[in-house]
Structure 1
């Protein structure tokens, strides 16, 4: 855990490309052999941290039986894990991580839309999901980069309202 925390601390100061194993070991107070007994390099360590976060959020999202609560559960998790999310969702983390997280519920959402609408256009549904997911990503990134000052419920309510307004346009007319 100390190795992961050390990398996260270093990533608040600089990108992964400018962090060395020596830097991590110095920060963690360990020797290089200890580091290499767990990870091949700093990139593998970052990947492990990101994958752990992804899997945790995947469990949160999959355990929520109410689709309307997904954004709230995600925002609540982000707020509870503020430090790691601030680092990983910043320019020093994987730029695709938040997108991967939001696409966890892709299949469930598309399936729900199929059931709720009279028609099904796979290309339209993909575009619709992409639009709402990327809008959500932008809001979450802004929230995280500004210090997560608003409550998870406020951010989730905004995301849900914006997504619902786009959805209503699709529900109200057949394309």
Structure 2
């Protein structure tokens, strides 16, 4: 009896998540009503409320799953050299490509800023740790450099998703890595 209940609970949560993600393609979470979410998921309101307080909690849970998966994926690696940093960037971009629909929605116009901030916090933390071990710069300076790098990387990934991921994850990772490690000077060598 318990496994049937667990499966039903899992199914309900899955259809609610899918329904919210589809609605977020159309409008921001603030404009999503519980009524339309339940209609889209084909469940009643009391079932929704037995799982989530509101649409914001549901969105938070979706974001949390992605963040946890991303963190687990990235924390399994020790990225110390430039080639390992490229592998880190490549792994992030590949992860985003694997979860492109969800990531595009969460990073898109109707997603919440909290997801982007949480992704930034994780990657910022990993970069600070890596760069603190490698460089003798002040922590304050490293924080600004990491913030600049992570913000730019997320903007590149958002644009790449919105444009239909024409370039491969490897190409995007290389672009982000080149810019991070060489700044604008990499453009002088890549145009030849």
TM-score normalized by the length of structure 2: 0.80
Aligned partner of 2:128 among 87, 92, 110: 110
Distance 1:95 1:107 in 2: 18
Matched, 1:87 2:136: no
> Relative to 1, partners in 2 of residues 1:15 and 1:106: Cα closer, same or farther, differing over 3 Å?
closer
Aligned partner of 2:180 among 153, 159, 163: 163
CA RMSD of aligned residues (A): 1.7
Matched, 1:57 2:70: yes
TM-score normalized by the length of structure 1: 0.87
Deviation, 1:60, is 1.1
Distance 2:128 2:30 in 1: 37
Distance 1:54 1:111 in 2: 18
Secondary structure of the equivalent of 1:37?
helix
2:189 maps to which residue? none
Q: 1:29-57: CA deviations, max 9, x gaps?
A: 11111111100111111111111111111
1:75 maps to which residue? 93
Gaps of 5+ in 1: 169-175
Q: 1:98-149: CA deviations, max 9, x gaps?
A: 34213314344223323333x3312211111111111111101111121222
Deviation, 1:77, is 0.9
Gaps of 5+ in 2: 1-13, 186-192
Matched, 1:135 2:152: yes
**For this pair of structures, how many residues does the alignment match?**
166
Matched, 1:11 2:24: yes
Distance 2:31 2:51 in 1: 20
Secondary structure of the equivalent of 1:149?
coil
Distance 1:162 1:144 in 2: 19
- The answer (yes or no) to whether the contact 1:89–1:144 under 8 Å persists in 2 is no
Distance 1:61 1:44 in 2: 25
Deviation, 1:84, is 0.7
Secondary structure of the equivalent of 2:165?
coil
